[in-house]
């Protein structure tokens, strides 16, 4: 008697039956997910906005890096044509969702998804990613979730206005050049804040007061170091004035390129801001997807336990979940590097295990979290304070290394014997493998280290760049020439780039001269 009653209540609470959904269903799904996410997982999210789109609109969104509005540029058309061709041929499916780091947090859901898939996607994007966007330190530091959509709107209309006023060719050239330098238009460290006049005056006053109070004529007699030559002083002063060395090339151009029009500077600024906005996402792929996958897994399991999902729906979910977290092995045809979903999810689950059910090895490796008991507390802290590189280098456990059977290859072209297997999943290898894998996710290693080092102000105003070659990997010559050509066009004087190794030996030098730009006329 009681049994039938519970069965009835359970089925009455079902979120949906079958595969169809409508807007009230979505609302119910969202509310159910929200209940689990906020009360049981303790997530902290931006308000959600869920948008239903068609496949074509999804393709549109792809070509403008997922953003709902973007300025116009041919390269987006190229990406669109590319995705479309692949999609039409059936070579590539479309994502189930796209989520945007904004407040309210916008998630795009495809209309073709079944009700189960919509539940999965809402749990994944609207709660998993959303929590990560709101709490991870990189996003908090570098992105402005409230302002991004307004800024993109501004960017779009500004570029359109420029096209009207200065001609499409000139704007296109500027954007082409800016896009080529986009990967070097990022601030990696928060710069020092410029003091305002009042604060500066106050500081000067304090310094004077200190000098007066500490005055002692004896100081005058103390010998100083060797006098710097005038030339050296000049160089130092110039480099300080220009803020050199500078690794944010776009910023440097925007502030100091001698012959750019003000609208060109603004366009460089727009491209730079957008690059900066996406910068945290490239550093947290594994964590971001790992978080979202872990969250959707927890929420879906809970909904199933509560009887809100039928067994059939839950099986449908498990099927797509396993597809998502599938990691082919290195000798598999499907292998193309690590799947961030798989690695991230595996690490999150592993942390859950360490926190709740550690063994001796875990206690030795992770004394601070092993057996702590509060899974969500530990995970929330990790999600807030790490990026891929630091996350892997601290939380990849020996057990996971064994499970994934990771191994480290060292390929030195100078070594004729072949590729060395440097470490495998054994006691001697754990730390090395963990360090190397973390390094694969370190932007400092992924992006070439190129800096503006000097400008020949007294001579031909040549802009000098320097690439510090790490592990013998030099720049691809044709591509580099093209990028430098764009750079020279913006700088409007010669540009040179030297590649030096860590011992300061010059390996290669490029010099490029500017072409006439339509905008210069």
Partner 1 sequence: MHIVDRRLNPGSKSLENRQRFLRRAKALVQGAVKKSSQDRDIKDVLEGGEVSIPLDGMNEPRFHREGGTRDMVLPGNKKFIEGDRLPRSGGGEGRGKASDPGEGDGEDAFRFVLSRDEFVDLFLDDLELPDLAKRKLADVESTSLSRAGYATSGSPANISVSRTVRLAMARRVALRRPRPETIAELEAEIAESEGARRDELMAQLEALQAKMRRIPFIDPIDIRYRRFENTPKPVAQAVMFCLMDVSGSMSEHMKDLAKRFYMLLYVFLTRRYKHVEIVFIRHTDRAEEVDEDTFFHGPASGGTMVSSALQAMHEIVRSRFRPDDWNIYAAQASDGDNSISDGAVTGRLLTEMILPVSQFFAYLEVGESNGSTFEMPDSSLWSLYQKLRAEGAPLSMRKVSDRSEIFPVFHDLFQRRAPQEKAAP
Q: At what angle do helices 148-166 and 168-180 cross, to 10 degrees?
A: 130
Using CB atoms within 10 A of its CB, is residue 452 exposed (0-12), middle (13-18) or buried (19+)? buried
Please write down the HEC assignment for all residues of 357-388: CCCHHHHHHCCCCCCCCCHHHHHHHHHHHCCH
Residue of 35, 144, 176, 266 interacting with partner 1 (CB under 8 A) = 176
Assess 428 for contact with partner 1 (CB under 8 A). yes
Measured CA to CA, the distance from residue 295 to residue 125 in angstroms comes to: 9
- Mapping DSSP to helix (H, G, I), strand (E, B) and coil, where does residue 442 land? coil
Pairing mode of beta strands 105-110, 97-100: antiparallel
Which one, of 450, 458, 434, lies nearest residue 487 by Cα?
A: 450
Using the rule CB under 8 A, is 72 a contact of partner 1? yes
Cβ distance to partner 1 smaller for residue 222 or 473: 473
Q: How far is the CB of 258 from partner 1 (least distance, A)?
A: 23
Query: Segment near partner 1 (CB under 8 A), from 129-137, 251-259, 304-312, 428-436?
Result: 428-436
Asked if 93 is part of the footprint of partner 1 (rule: CB under 8 A), the reply reads no
What's the closest the beta carbon of residue 184 comes to partner 1, in angstroms? 7
Positions in 374-413 near partner 1 (CB under 8 A): 404-413
- Residue 183 or 246: the one with the smaller Cβ distance to partner 1 is 183
Question: Which residues are CB-neighbours of 337 under 8 A, at least 6 positions away?
Answer: none
Q: Does 28 bind partner 1 (CB under 8 A)?
A: no
Name which position in 38, 52, 453, 520 contacts partner 1 (CB under 8 A): 52
CB of 402 to partner 1, least distance (A): 10
Rounded Cα gap, residues 26 and 7, in angstroms: 24
Q: Any contact of residue 23 with partner 1 (CB under 8 A)?
A: yes
User: Of 425, 489, 517, 519, which lies in the binding site for partner 1, with binding defined by CB under 8 A?
Assistant: 425
Query: Does the protein bind partner 1 through residue 156 (CB under 8 A)?
Result: no
Calpha distance 76→273 (Å, rounded): 18
Binding marks (x or -) toward partner 1, 338..377, rule CB under 8 A?
Answer: x---------------------------------------
For partner 1, the binding residues in 470-489 under the rule CB under 8 A are 470-476, 479-480, 482-483, 486
Least distance from partner 1 to the Cβ atom of residue 235, Å: 26
User: Judged by CB under 8 A, does residue 54 bind partner 1?
Assistant: yes
Where are the alpha helices (H) located in 36-147, listed in sequence order? 55-63, 74-89, 115-121, 130-135, 137-142
**Closest distance to partner 1 from the beta carbon of 396 (Å):** 10
Residue closer to partner 1 by CB (options 209, 419) is 419
* Residue 503 touching partner 1 (CB under 8 A): no
329 binds partner 1, rule: CB under 8 A = yes
Among 63, 101, 113, 143, binds partner 1 (CB under 8 A): 63
Burial group, residue 141, by CB count within 10 angstroms (0-12, 13-18, 19+): exposed
Query: What is the C-alpha separation between 348 and 340, in angstroms, rounded?
Result: 12
**Identity of the residue, 281 or 356, whose beta carbon is nearer to partner 1 in the bound complex:** 281
Q: Which is nearer to partner 1, 28 or 353 (CB)?
A: 28
Tell me: does residue 418 bind partner 1 (CB under 8 A). yes
Q: Which residues pair with 99 in a beta bridge?
A: 107
Cβ–Cβ contacts within 10 Å for residue 449, how many? Answer: 13
**Shortest Cβ distance from residue 173 to partner 1 (Å)?**
12
Distance CA 357, CA 2 (A): 36
């Amino acid at each position: 008697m009681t049994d039938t009653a519970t069965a009835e209540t359970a089925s009455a609470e079902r979120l949906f039956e079958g595969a169809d959904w409508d807007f009230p269903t979505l609302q119910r799904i969202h509310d159910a997910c929200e209940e689990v996410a906020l009360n049981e997982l303790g997530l902290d999210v931006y308000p959600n906005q869920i948008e239903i789109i068609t496949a074509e609109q999804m393709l549109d969104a792809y070509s403008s890096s997922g953003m709902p509005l973007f300025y116009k540029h041919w390269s987006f058309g190229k990406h669109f044509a590319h995705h479309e061709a692949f999609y039409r041929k059936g070579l590539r499916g479309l994502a189930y969702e796209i989520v945007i780091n904004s407040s309210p947090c916008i998630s795009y859901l495809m209309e073709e998804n079944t009700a189960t898939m919509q539940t999965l996607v809402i749990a994944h994007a609207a709660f998993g990613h959303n929590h990560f966007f709101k709490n991870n330190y990189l996003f908090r530091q570098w992105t402005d979730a409230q302002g991004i959509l307004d800024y993109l709107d501004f960017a779009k209309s500004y570029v359109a206005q420029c096209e009207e006023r200065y001609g499409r060719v000139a704007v296109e050239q500027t954007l082409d050049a800016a896009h080529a330098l986009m990967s070097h238009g990022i601030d990696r460290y928060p710069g020092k804040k410029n003091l305002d006049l009042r604060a500066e005056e106050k500081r000067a006053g304090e310094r004077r007061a200190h000098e007066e109070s500490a005055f002692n004529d004896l100081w005058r007699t103390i010998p100083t170091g060797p006098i710097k030559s005038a030339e050296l002083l000049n160089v130092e002063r110039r480099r300080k004035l220009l803020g050199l060395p500078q690794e944010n090339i776009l910023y440097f151009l925007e502030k100091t390129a001698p012959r750019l029009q003000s609208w060109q500077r603004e366009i460089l600024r727009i491209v730079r801001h957008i690059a900066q906005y996406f910068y945290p996402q490239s550093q947290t792929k594994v964590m971001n997807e790992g978080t979202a996958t872990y969250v959707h897994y927890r929420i879906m399991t809970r909904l199933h336990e509560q009887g809100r999902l039928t067994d059939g729906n839950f099986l449908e979910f498990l099927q797509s979940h396993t597809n998502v977290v599938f990691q082919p092995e290195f000798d598999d045809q499907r292998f193309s590097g690590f799947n961030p979903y798989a690695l991230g999810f595996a690490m999150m689950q592993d942390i859950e295990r360490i926190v709740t059910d550690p063994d001796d090895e875990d206690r030795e490796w992770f004394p601070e979290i092993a057996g702590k008991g509060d899974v969500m507390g530990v995970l929330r802290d990790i999600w807030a304070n790490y990026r891929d590189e630091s996350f892997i280098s601290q939380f990849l456990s020996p057990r996971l290394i064994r499970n994934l059977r990771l191994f480290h290859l060292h390929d030195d072209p100078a070594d004729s014997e072949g590729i060395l297997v440097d470490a495998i999943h054994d006691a001697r290898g754990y730390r090395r493998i963990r360090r190397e894998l973390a390094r694969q996710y370190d932007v400092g290693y992924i992006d070439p280290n190129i800096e503006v080092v000097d400008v020949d102000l007294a001579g031909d105003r040549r802009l000098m760049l320097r690439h510090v070659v790490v592990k013998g990997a030099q720049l691809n010559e044709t591509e580099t020439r093209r990028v430098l050509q764009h750079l020279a066009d913006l700088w409007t004087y010669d540009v040179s780039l030297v590649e030096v190794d860590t011992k300061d030996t010059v390996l290669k030098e490029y010099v490029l001269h500017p072409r006439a730009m339509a905008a210069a006329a």
